[in-house]
Structure 1
Amino acid sequence: MFISPMLLETAAAPFSDSRYIYEPKVDGHRLIYTQEGGTVRLYTRHHNDCTRQYPEIATNLFPHDVVLDGEIAVYDPQTGVVDFESVMSRFQARRPDKITQLSAQLPVTFVVFDILRYKGEDLRQLPLMQRKEILAGLSLPNAHFGIVPYVEKAGEALFTQMQARSLEGMVGKRTDSTYVSRRSAAWLKVINWSYADVWLTGYRKAEFGWLASVQAENSAKVRPAGIIEHGASPTHKKAFYGVVKPLITGEDRDFVYVEPRIRARVKMRNWTRAGMLRSPVFTEFIV
């Protein structure tokens, strides 16, 4: 049974409130685990079946039928930090031999933070803390399952710890929240953004997108670093397109390229191993 997941809204800043508990935000991908009649199915938040990608999760059973909500994570053995690119490598694997190989090289952990059904009973109308109590009593099938820890009241202190370890951020959840299959202000995320200054070196011809570049190492030239698709307001876009025409150097089917003369600041999740901005969001022009 697939249950559409409860989604997070965004808090403006870290906060502490006795009505909430606070969890580390896991930098993986959302997973709904369903076990019915001895059959396990794994689904992404968009109802895509990904059962075969994670045999270390799908081939181990709980004593009773259950539906769980959590994140698939791959932990770096050296740092203990979730490696999102490794998560994507596991998710994108399709060939059985590749899945077997990656299961040994990049083992996943299903990090559970909620229980939605148990022993045939729908638990979604129970308050969060009662669901947490039931979840804590589960016997996990193997070491590839874990439960997200949480703290009470001390949201700002937890976020400071996340920043110190360069982790993704935190989630605040109301202790009395029921589980609803939509975005809800009862669950709030605070992202630990990183920031970078970039040159805008082109733009898409069709939908919005600015090409971002950064200074190449040991060179006066710039190199591509990604595409900015979010954050720019209509005013920012108008300002950019109002001055960019004299800077055009060429174009192809999809992009117009410009001299690196316009500078901007972006916030992002982190840098990829290939030196690209991960999920960059425009914040301001640098003048």
Structure 2
Amino acid sequence: MPFITTDDGTEIFYKDWGARGAQTIVFHHGWPLSADDWDNQLLFFRAKGFRVVAHDRRGHGRSGQPDTGNDMDTYAADVIALARALDLKDAIHVGHSTGGGEVARYVARAEPGRVSKAVLISAIPPVMVKSDTNPGGTPIEVFDGFRTALMANRSQFYLDVASGPFYNFNKPGVEPIQGLIDNWWRQGMMGGANAGYDCIKVFSETDLTEDLKQIDVPVLVIHSEDDQVVPYADAGPLAVKLLRNGTLKTYQGLPHGCMTTHPDLINADILAFIGKEAISPQAENAEPALA
């Protein structure tokens, strides 16, 4: 399996498919998952002729599980190392949830010529936790509850997240898809418990306001008003206001893990943003079936 080794000796696993001379799309996964969460997108965009790259964040998936470096600065530094190792130029970076925060910090710090565009899907920027400066945020007690549940029984906690709010399977009329639940749990349990625990602080308390302000490449922000994990009003609309060249795509009826439950819509949006096809007519303010 392909790995790079970072300056602190951590091995980072990555997938790299497609022609080396093709336009590259780099996918950044959410907590506590792995590059496998992008299976549909990796296959779809490879078939369209793109080079696709996805890595397991340190502490997650098949990457090393150090006791240090579970913070957004180090996550971004690992991506800088990956981009150098693969000599990625003018790449498009797509991040989901925590991975969207990773994209924001990386793109704000990327070496010249490495990035052409970015996509944030159900992403955590600007900042999730409630504070005096972010009164619409999620109370810290919610994230304290995540930590308590993870420590008590990580396996059960991950099952509860996947079978509930992550895919909106706890909503009336939404039929659970067992394969998605099992795959989410599998990916989460591959990673280190320490990374899963520490990353709760990362995704809830990291303030990415200044990162968003510094980004000068075009950014597509995709978010659903029915996201139960990263509430829409405190994320997508605020993020796009901070970006110099941002576009907001708002959905109704989609869950936090929308690129997994509705890849036809999300893939079309990404493809249109890249400039290959028109955005799917169902996308804008759509109410797709969730079963």
What interval of TM-score do these two structures reach, taking the shorter chain for normalisation? under 0.3
Normalised to the residue count of structure 2, the TM-score between the two structures is: 0.25
Larger radius of gyration: 1
**Greater share of strand residues, 1 or 2?**
1
Normalised to the residue count of structure 1, the TM-score between the two structures is: 0.26
